Amino acid sequence: MARKLAAGNWKMNGTRAALEELSALAQAHPDPSVDILICPPATLVQTAAATVANGPIQIGGQDCHAQASGAHTGDISAEMLLDAGATSVILGHSERREDHGESSDDVNAKTRAAHAAGLVAIVCVGESLSQREAANTLDIIGEQLATSLPDGCTAANTVVAYEPIWAIGTGKVPTTEQIDEVHDFIRARMIRRFGENEGRAIPLLYGGSVKTDNAAEIFATDNVDGALVGGASLKATDFSPIIKALEGKA
């Protein structure tokens, strides 16, 4: 069984004032039965980590460079995130793939950097609407997984997030059958590549318009071990019921 994880991706939202939401979340969940992770913008990683220090909530980054250091203006390495107090990093989010032209090969290199630094890599995959309409979803996901994930992925160092691009920030959610189909497919690929034990234990998150009112239904799907939540992770009052819905599954 994979561990359960409720992860929030704040994207490019939040200044220091947003740390109040983190404090409120920590107060509401002093002893959660699932893992909780918040990935704020890089400028807040260190203060966010200090805000939740000694509690169960963990802090992650939203991207890292493939190199440990060097002449890469504006970039941040996995080691720097770790040093700032992060335990995880989101990699290959569709917004990075789109805005920064990141390929699955790039994501593979970044994932290796995260693993080398001791961070958990949350590797995102997902099809566009046109790819789904052309019935290419599983081919696309299969290719993204094969290329983005390096050898040596384990349940301790890797999480996979399935985020259909057309469901991100749109309020459109796939049917439970569609989520079920993709998550079963990803689970089978994880087992085939990383072995029965690790393959079964790598957490698989669903992401894309997860809200208070649809979380329990999404979590009822067999191979969904949690969620990667954008908009609804920004306010503790929105994210907290999603965490509780996942605790209902754990």
**Closer Cβ to ligand 13P, 194 or 239, answer by number:** 239
Amino acid at 218: I
**Closer Cβ to ligand 13P, 93 or 244, answer by number:** 93
Burial class (CB in 10 A: 0-12, 13-18, 19+), 32: buried
Three-state SS sequence of 132-198:
HHCCCHHHHHHHHHHHHCCCCCCCCCEEEEECCHHHCCCCCCCCHHHHHHHHHHHHHHHHHHHCHHH
Q: How far is the CB of 175 from ligand 13P (least distance, A)?
A: 16
Q: How far is the CB of 228 from ligand 13P (least distance, A)?
A: 4
Q: How far apart are CA 202 and CA 8, in angstroms?
A: 18
When asked if residue 210 is in the footprint of ligand 13P (CB under 6 A), the reply is yes
**Closer Cβ to ligand 13P, 67 or 128, answer by number:** 128
* Residues 57-76: x where in contact with ligand 13P by CB under 6 A, - otherwise, as a string: --------------------
Tell me if residue 133 is catalytic: no
Other beta carbons within 10 angstroms of residue 146's beta carbon come to: 12
* Residues 154-193: x where in contact with ligand 13P by CB under 6 A, - otherwise, as a string: ---------x----xx------------------------
Question: In the structure encoding, which two tokens stand for residue 85, read together?
Answer: 């107090």
Q: Which of the 8 DSSP states describes residue 211?
A: -
When asked if residue 215 is in the footprint of ligand 13P (CB under 6 A), the reply is no
Q: Which of 4, 9, 64, 96 binds ligand 13P (CB under 6 A)?
A: 9
Q: Which residues are catalytic?
A: 93, 163
